[in-house]
């Protein structure tokens, strides 16, 4: 009986940790002009620009624009730096489906949501 309880506990631990990494991958913004790779770094997730359709003066591949992303069930919270704004916004990420990620950026009383699609 004890072995069964331990086995079930490990199963649930495994399912929970797999969910945490569900945002890892490359994501493209709605207008198809930018791709960001979300990856794990120590105890949080980061997102760096990996592709731009058009060169931008304030953004380049390799720039980290998603920072300090941590899972807060049922979504992830972090910070986003918009190169065009030169500001840091609060960010909430929520998986709409396996290949769609809703990103909500907030600053004071304003917020904007966009749905990005997984490319890799």
Q: Are 69 and 38 in contact (CB under 8 A)?
A: yes
Does 17 have pLDDT greater than 60?
Answer: no
Q: Render pLDDT for 57-100 as a digit per residue (tens, 0 to 9).
A: 899 999 999 999 999 999 999 999 988 888 999 999 999 999 99
Does 6 have pLDDT greater than 50?
Answer: no
For the domain that residue 76 is a member of, what is the CATH number?
2.40.128.520
The CB density around residue 35, as the number of other CB atoms within 10 Å, is 20
User: What's the pLDDT score for residue 64?
Assistant: 97
**Domain total of the chain:** 1
User: What's the pLDDT score for residue 7?
Assistant: 36
CA torsion sign for 51, 53, 54, 58 is: negative
User: What's the pLDDT score for residue 85?
Assistant: 81
């Amino acid at each position: 009986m004890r072995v069964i309880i331990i086995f079930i506990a490990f199963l649930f631990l495994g399912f929970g940790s797999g969910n945490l990494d569900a945002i890892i991958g490359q994501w493209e913004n709605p207008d198809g002009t930018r791709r960001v790779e979300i990856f794990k770094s120590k105890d949080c997730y980061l997102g760096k620009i990996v592709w731009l359709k058009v060169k931008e003066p304030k953004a380049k591949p390799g720039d980290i624009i998603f920072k300090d992303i941590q899972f807060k069930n049922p979504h992830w919270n972090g910070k986003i730096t918009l190169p065009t704004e030169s500001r840091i916004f609060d960010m909430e990420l929520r998986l709409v489906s396996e290949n769609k990620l809703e990103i909500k950026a907030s600053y004071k009383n304003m917020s904007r949501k966009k749905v990005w699609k997984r490319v890799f």
